[in-house]
Amino acid sequence: VICYIGIGSNLDNRRKNILRAIGLLKKDKNIKLIKKSRLYETNPLAGPAQGKYLNAVLKIETVYSPHTLLDKFKAIESALGRRSSSIKWSARTIDLDILFYGKRIIKSKKLTIPHPEIKNRIFVLKPLTEIAPGLIHPVFRKTAKRLLKEYCIPHKK
C-alpha cells in the first residue's frame, strides 16, 4: 500500500532527528521509501511557546496494516527519545503521522486516516504538493495542489 507520512521535529538537532527517523524507516524491510520532500521550516501553529519546526513528507510503500504502521512509528519516536508529554502540541524531538494510507478512510480510537489536520497544516500541504501535487484526498476529493491553493485559514495562537 502506498502511504504518505508527515514527519516533523522542533527539538535538538531537528535535521538529524528527521534523517535518523528516515534511516530507521528505511531499515525496516516492510517499508520502502519511494520519495521524500525537502525539509520545510515552519512556525509552531499551536501549543506553548516553542522553537520552529522542520517538516517533511515521505511517500512509502508498506505491507503493514495501518495500526501496525502506527506502532512502528511510535517505536521510532521513542527510539529517538521522544517523551510522551501530557501537554497538547508541545515541542517534540520527532513526530510521525500517517497522512494517507492508500485511499482508505479509517476512523478508530487510535487512528483517523486521512489525517484530520491535513487541510489546516501548511507544513503538510507544501511538502505534500511538492512530491504529489495530483494526489487526491479521498474525503474532500481534491488534489493536494488544490488543497494548498485553498489553504487560507489564519491560525489563532
- Minimum separation from the CB atom of position 15 to ligand AMP (A): 20
Nine cell digits for residue 33: 521509501
Helix 66-79 to helix 14-27 angle, to the nearest 10 degrees?
130
Query: Minimum Å distance from CB 111 to ligand AMP?
Result: 5
CB 133 within 8 A of CB 57: no
Tell me which stretch binds ligand AMP (CB under 6 A): 44-52, 93-101, 120-128, 133-141.
Answer: 93-101
CB closer to ligand AMP out of 108 and 149: 108
Q: Which residues pair with 58 in a beta bridge?
A: 5, 36
Residues 50-89 that bind ligand AMP (CB under 6 A): 70
Q: According to the binding rule CB under 6 A, does residue 113 interact with ligand AMP?
A: yes
Distance CA 82, CA 32 (A): 24
Binding residues (CB under 6 A) for ligand AMP: these are 70, 95, 97-98, 110-113, 115
